[in-house]
Structure 1
Amino acid sequence: MNPTPAPEADGPATPQHRGQDRTAAPETAEATTVPRQKDVHRDDAEPLTPAAGPASGRAQGAPDALDDPDPLRAADAAGTESLLRCWTRETGLARPDGDTLRIAFPASGTALLVPVRYWSATGAHRFGAPALESAPGAPPADAVTVAALIAREGGRSGTADLVARVADSVRHTAGFIEQRRRAPADPAGSGPFLTAEQALLLGHPLHPTPKSREGLSEAESRRYSPELHGSFPLHWFAVDRTLTATDSAWTEGGPATAEELLAPHAEGLTRPPGTVAVPVHPWQAADLLHRPQVRALADAGLLHDLGPHGEQWHPTSSIRTVHRPGARVMLKLSLGVRITNSRRENLRKELHRGVEVHRLLSTGLAEQWRREHPGFDIVRDPAWIAVDDPEGDHVTGLDVMLRHNPFGPYDDAACVAGLTAQRPRPEEPALRSRLAEAVARLATRTGHTSHDISAEWFRRYLDHVVRPVLWLDAHAGVALEAHQQNTLVVLDPDGWPAGGRYRDNQGYYFRDSRRAELERRLPGIGAVSDTFVSDPVTDERFAYYLGINNVLGLIGAFGAQRLGDEQELLTVLRQFLTENAELGSSLPGYLLENRQLRCKANLMTRLHGLDELVGPVDTQSVYVTIANPLYS
């Protein structure tokens, strides 16, 4: 199938490390199946219910629980499915012979009987409501019950924490669904970029607590959540100039310091002489004033609380990075709320890393890269400002990183997670993704099937988004932590992929084997940013973030939303990797030749109580071994 090619995008080309890990899959978990008389096809991506046509992307038969009229029941179904997907992947449960998966929990003396609506080769399974085998006739097990069973089986001290955070995640999700059903249309002036950033109502499909935000009240959640179209003015502090730490390599529109870039947004503020205005997230401002280090600065007259000021800013998918359409900058703020697995406060080495990567690309590497891949670039993080106390110690959480804002109001750039996220659309309360809409529209326009459109869309995505990331690894020794939330795809007017961007000042791996080459490009590189990582760890992490999370996750979204056939898409991916095996990156061979892959285990990481931004690279997350669906 070869739909009519769309023209290339003409836009400009500037639109967390994890190391050796712990494997923690409990040995007590087992999966058996309830026999079913009717035979089931054995293709690993074959739905266990009939697929609908491209217009809906939904299964025929039983209604989807995610569309339940009660927002809390819909949110609980989403939370339960996420937990079951995590447990299935992280304990290596096999596909059942029938349409019911039995998951035994010996520590609790029971088992769950889980209807399988769709079994995915890439882990994007769809499950129905689980029933407790030991309580026939009882209501289905809800997300909190499933979390308690899993936590007890894991044998970890984090049982209460997991259960509480699952409940918190479900509560937030219910609020998001309820509000967006009432007002599904995006606010005027949002633009495609912000619309995608605010689309993740259900969150990461393979995370146990995707919408947990420990520390936010109901009112704060309404104000600060992208899913609720939240917005707020920044909160400002005046800090004695002698205490500010800053760096800038900003060149977009002319050189500028962090203070100069912030000045338009601080206009009208009255501050004491000899001070610098530093913006923070309003939630963070209230928290900071209770911290002894910050309180001491205020008592000494070195820090002044100026309060909220200025225009409304909009939270993006990361919650703490804020966007204002038309502004020159986006701001990555510190936020001490525990979101998914971590408190989201900037580390000083990450601030240095963003500037360092911009300087590295400015050595001529970016120009060379753009000649090969003119539609792809990194969204730069070239300036920051932070605060040290009089003893020279960092004041954690009082800082801001300044990011290029390369997207105009009509630039159709969407993070992949937002593109695949299911949410209500105007006049359609059922959850549906923009990816499903694009496939349906292209199928109607071209007369091709949704499966053929999905395969062609995926081919173009690999060419325009994945190939440039492989090029940077091959030619510079820099691997990107390109998971779906960090990866933006630029779409042409018809909805085909035409380019891409990467964004995140945390997620870079400088290969140890390329240290001398990178040092020649930029003397002193990595000394402060702590970005060099051994090649084996880089290979493993690169394979997870770009290979499993991003590309296989995209295949799973096509399959689970009944848009394309996973086995066909895996064939497209194998062909792409084979064709690019000689490019110079080790990733194509790594993905093709390994029978098993190492995969981040979000559930086990949560059970271990790990903060993924704290500690050595090799112990920040739990990783498990999974079967590689590409291996043949």
Structure 2
Amino acid sequence: MNPIPAPEVPEAHGRPTAAHLPHVAVSGPLTAEAATVPRQQGGSLDDETPDPARQLPTSPETADHLDHPDPRRAADAAAIENLLRCWVRENNLAPPDGNTLRIPLHASGTALLVPVRYWSATGWHRFGLPSLESSPHDATTTDAVTVAALLGREAGGAEGTDLVGRVADSVQRTAQFIAHRRRLPAAPEAADLFLSAEQSLLLGHPLHPTPKSREGLSDAESRLYSPELYGAFPLHWLAVDRSVLAGDSAWTERGRTLAAEQLTSRLAGDLQVPGDCAALPLHPWQARDLRHRPAVAALLDAGLLHDLGPHGADWHPTSSVRTVHRPGAPAMLKLSLGLRITNSRRENLRKELHRGVEVHRLLRAGLAEQWRAAHPGFDIVRDPAWLAVDTPDGEPVPGLDVMLRHNPFHHGDDAVCIAALTSPRPWPGRTGTHSRLSDTVERLAARTGRPVAAVAAEWLLRYLDQVVRPLLWLDATAGIALEAHQQNTLVLLDPEGWPVGGRYRDNQGYYFRQSHRDALERRLPGIGRDSDTFVSDDVTDERFAYYLGINNVLGLIGAFGAQRLADERVLLAAFRRFLATHVRLGSPLPTLLLEAPTLRAKANLLTRLHGLDELVGPVDTQSVYVTIANPLVS
């Protein structure tokens, strides 16, 4: 069989390089006092940026517990920091007067005493190991499971016991990842840059209580299916009778639309498929789990499904675990995976499958050309085809489906999700734990002879221009806000490490503004009918402010600060100035971030304690949100 050609998606006009961008300098002296109003032109970052070592509070501790020689101790310390960051944000705790944060635990009659290594204006705090108040001075510090139990009891959540179990699971897996990466810090030589980046996110979301929890995955399965362990495996294949086959495709080749079953047939290669059936790829774990579900067993018994087993070359899990990639292949596959990863079982919903194709059609109907003219370096990674299974009565069978995703990344394309860029990990040729961000900025500073803090500020400015500005344009022009959190947002880096473009991925994370329904309907008649994508403007504003403003940009600023690359106050001032210059663009987000004294942020700990699955139910009630002070105005 011939390989699948890439779908006909007009790409950005060439891949931009650093030569396309002028040297970015902030107008005016960029200091903490530049927080409120834009300044006059002139000035340079090189001399105006304060030394972060003099600005950031530091506890007497010097050793970083993430570098502990025992991987279990390092993983436990990372989990404790995550839990404490969540608690501080979700309870609006103020910074301590000294180097110790006291967290009262009224339900347990005690308090946690937490050494503060770094207090972040944006929530990326660094903490030492806590102890219980009134415990003997030589008593051991508390571990992550104990902290989870104490905080769960204090919050009064119904899922406190479940939280403890998932924290333990996340710690165990993180320890395995750290130990493995210390032995093999560099990905296999054959891996492409995109895959190497996707498999580098060891610690996960810094404000999630269980970022690496994967309930139901055995140790042997973890070795095969974990991106952090350089996992690889062949797909498991089913043959689906066409009478129960569902699907849609806007994937085109030489001006001709290919059906989704044609695409999966090519991926199946020389696999022998019974007549009048289509080949459906599954994740191996999902295939094993599905056979125990009554609806699937009935289809197998009726001869409408045929189990063909594993077949073909290896595919590699990306950072989401369930989306798989094969270097050089024109398609990635977003598979259903019933594991509970962090807060949700990762099975595709039918409306999400419709949404991916719908967005591709919308962009192809003229919006993409308009967008590329304004921002040639940015695009959405398209999801133009899907295949699934229905019952004989026409009802969707959960978990039996695949989304075919365009793979726009070639071997040399350095596309990195922001979560992987900022996450600490063992680094080749260096001792201790570092992030790709710190390595990049420090390398640029050494090459240019400029201060690290000045390079960090310029890197952020280029990122805002190349990644954030196109997202604001899409909201302003089309009324589409993207759930552009750090794992869904990819930055394209030139060979030196400067941002030169970006991509967004995720067929789940679209918010079509209700106020733009008529205009979007004119662009694509029937839009939203099957995808359930229209959302009220109020909810859209809240979610866009969280995902792009708080999680993405403020999270990036927090990483710069916590990793001692720059003073967060200076970077916040740079972000203010960027927002001020884009207020007239038309998106409500710049004004909201500049003027609102408080913002709404997703509370991952409370979401877990309430037992919520973030993929189930109406978009405005899937997660718990809390009110936090806006660091851009405080």
Instruction: Say whether 1:171 aligns with 2:172.
Output: yes
Corresponding position of 2:85: 85
Q: Give distance in 1, aligned partners of 2:226 and 2:254.
A: 31
Corresponding position of 2:401: 399
Q: Give distance in 2, aligned partners of 1:181 and 1:429.
A: 10
Corresponding position of 2:345: 343
Instruction: Say whether 1:490 aligns with 2:502.
Output: no
Q: Residues 581-592 of structure 1: matches in 2 within 5 Å?
A: 581-592=583-594
Q: Give distance in 1, aligned partners of 2:157 and 2:369.
A: 50
Q: Which amino acid aligns with 1:109?
A: G
Change (3 A) 1:229 1:619: same
Identity across matched positions, percent: 70
Q: Residues 122-141 of structure 1: matches in 2 within 5 Å?
A: 122-136=122-136, 137-141=138-142
Segments of structure 1 that go 5 or more residues without pairing to the other structure are: 10-40, 51-59
Corresponding position of 1:47: 56
Deviation at 1:427, TM superposition (A): 2.9
Corresponding position of 2:312: 310
User: What is the TM-score of this pair, normalised by structure 1?
Assistant: 0.91
Corresponding position of 1:27: none
Q: Which amino acid aligns with 2:19?
A: P
Deviation at 1:263, TM superposition (A): 2.2
Which of 19, 22, 25 is the aligned partner of 1:7?
19
Deviation at 1:493, TM superposition (A): 1.4
Q: Give distance in 2, aligned partners of 1:269 and 1:289.
A: 21
Do 2:174 and 2:202's aligned partners in 1 also have CA atoms closer than 8 Å?
yes
Do 1:189 and 1:409's aligned partners in 2 also have CA atoms closer than 8 Å?
no
Corresponding position of 1:22: none
Q: Give distance in 1, aligned partners of 2:334 and 2:280.
A: 12
Corresponding position of 1:229: 230
CA displacement 1:188-227 (0-9 Å, x = unmatched): 2212211111111000000000000000000111110000
Corresponding position of 1:73: 73
Q: Residues 551-590 of structure 1: matches in 2 within 5 Å?
A: 551-590=553-592
Do 2:58 and 2:99's aligned partners in 1 also have CA atoms closer than 8 Å?
no
Corresponding position of 1:156: 157
Deviation at 1:532, TM superposition (A): 0.2
Q: Give distance in 2, aligned partners of 1:189 and 1:463.
A: 33
Q: Which amino acid aligns with 2:376?
A: P
Instruction: Say whether 1:264 aligns with 2:276.
Output: no
Do 1:78 and 1:202's aligned partners in 2 also have CA atoms closer than 8 Å?
yes
Deviation at 1:135, TM superposition (A): 1.7
DSSP-derived class of the 1:539 partner: helix
Q: Which amino acid aligns with 1:148?
A: A
Do 1:118 and 1:126's aligned partners in 2 also have CA atoms closer than 8 Å?
yes
Do 2:157 and 2:606's aligned partners in 1 also have CA atoms closer than 8 Å?
no
CA displacement 1:494-535 (0-9 Å, x = unmatched): 110000000000000000000000001101000110000000
Deviation at 1:363, TM superposition (A): 1.1
Corresponding position of 1:34: none
Do 1:103 and 1:111's aligned partners in 2 also have CA atoms closer than 8 Å?
yes
Corresponding position of 1:189: 190
Q: Give distance in 2, aligned partners of 1:309 and 1:605.
A: 39
DSSP-derived class of the 1:83 partner: helix
Do 2:56 and 2:567's aligned partners in 1 also have CA atoms closer than 8 Å?
no
Q: Give distance in 2, aligned partners of 1:253 and 1:610.
A: 45
DSSP-derived class of the 2:209 partner: coil
Q: Which amino acid aligns with 2:18?
A: A
Change (3 A) 1:427 1:446: closer
Which range moved further: 264-273 or 222-231?
264-273
Do 1:8 and 1:492's aligned partners in 2 also have CA atoms closer than 8 Å?
no
Do 1:191 and 1:410's aligned partners in 2 also have CA atoms closer than 8 Å?
yes
Q: Give distance in 2, aligned partners of 1:469 and 1:166.
A: 34
Segments of structure 2 that go 5 or more residues without pairing to the other structure are: 1-16, 22-49
Q: Give distance in 1, aligned partners of 2:509 and 2:73.
A: 36
Deviation at 1:571, TM superposition (A): 0.4
Q: Give distance in 1, aligned partners of 2:20 and 2:196.
A: 23
Deviation at 1:61, TM superposition (A): 5.9
Q: Residues 237-248 of structure 1: matches in 2 within 5 Å?
A: 237-248=238-249
Q: Give distance in 2, aligned partners of 1:252 and 1:497.
A: 31
Corresponding position of 2:600: 598
DSSP-derived class of the 1:598 partner: strand
Do 1:239 and 1:303's aligned partners in 2 also have CA atoms closer than 8 Å?
yes
Deviation at 1:62, TM superposition (A): 1.5
Which of 608, 620, 623 is the aligned partner of 2:622?
620
DSSP-derived class of the 2:103 partner: strand
Change (3 A) 1:400 1:141: same
Change (3 A) 1:252 1:76: farther
Q: Give distance in 1, aligned partners of 2:288 and 2:368.
A: 40
Q: Give distance in 2, aligned partners of 1:429 and 1:329.
A: 37
User: What is the TM-score of this pair, normalised by structure 2?
Assistant: 0.91
Q: Which amino acid aligns with 2:342?
A: T
DSSP-derived class of the 1:428 partner: coil
DSSP-derived class of the 1:582 partner: helix
Which range moved further: 423-432 or 338-347?
423-432
Corresponding position of 2:38: none
Q: Give distance in 2, aligned partners of 1:252 and 1:583.
A: 36
CA displacement 1:282-332 (0-9 Å, x = unmatched): 000000000000000001111110000001000000000000000010000
Deviation at 1:383, TM superposition (A): 0.3
Deviation at 1:47, TM superposition (A): 2.2
Deviation at 1:271, TM superposition (A): 2.1
DSSP-derived class of the 2:447 partner: helix
DSSP-derived class of the 1:111 partner: strand
Q: Which amino acid aligns with 1:236?
A: W
Corresponding position of 2:501: 499
Change (3 A) 1:247 1:44: farther
Q: Which amino acid aligns with 2:519?
A: E
Q: Residues 526-537 of structure 1: matches in 2 within 5 Å?
A: 526-537=528-539
Corresponding position of 2:211: 210
Which of 411, 415, 418 is the aligned partner of 1:416?
418
Corresponding position of 2:4: none
Q: Give distance in 1, aligned partners of 2:258 and 2:566.
A: 47
CA displacement 1:561-588 (0-9 Å, x = unmatched): 1111100000000000000000010000
Q: Give distance in 2, aligned partners of 1:46 and 1:212.
A: 35
Do 2:53 and 2:564's aligned partners in 1 also have CA atoms closer than 8 Å?
no
Change (3 A) 1:252 1:196: farther
Which range moved further: 130-139 or 284-293?
130-139
Deviation at 1:45, TM superposition (A): 10
Which of 410, 413, 435 is the aligned partner of 2:437?
435
Q: Which amino acid aligns with 1:522?
A: L
DSSP-derived class of the 2:205 partner: coil
Q: How many residues align?
A: 587
DSSP-derived class of the 2:564 partner: coil
Corresponding position of 2:510: 508
Corresponding position of 1:388: 390
Q: Give distance in 1, aligned partners of 2:254 and 2:471.
A: 26
Q: Give distance in 2, aligned partners of 1:548 and 1:383.
A: 32
**RMSD value, Cα:** 1.5
Instruction: Say whether 1:465 aligns with 2:451.
Output: no
Q: Give distance in 1, aligned partners of 2:624 and 2:54.
A: 27
Instruction: Say whether 1:63 aligns with 2:63.
Output: yes
Deviation at 1:429, TM superposition (A): 4.3
Do 1:261 and 1:329's aligned partners in 2 also have CA atoms closer than 8 Å?
no
Q: Which amino acid aligns with 2:164?
A: V
Which one has more relative contact order, counting CA pairs under 8 Å at least 6 apart?
Answer: 1
Which range moved further: 244-253 or 84-93?
244-253
Q: Which amino acid aligns with 1:6?
A: A
DSSP-derived class of the 2:151 partner: helix
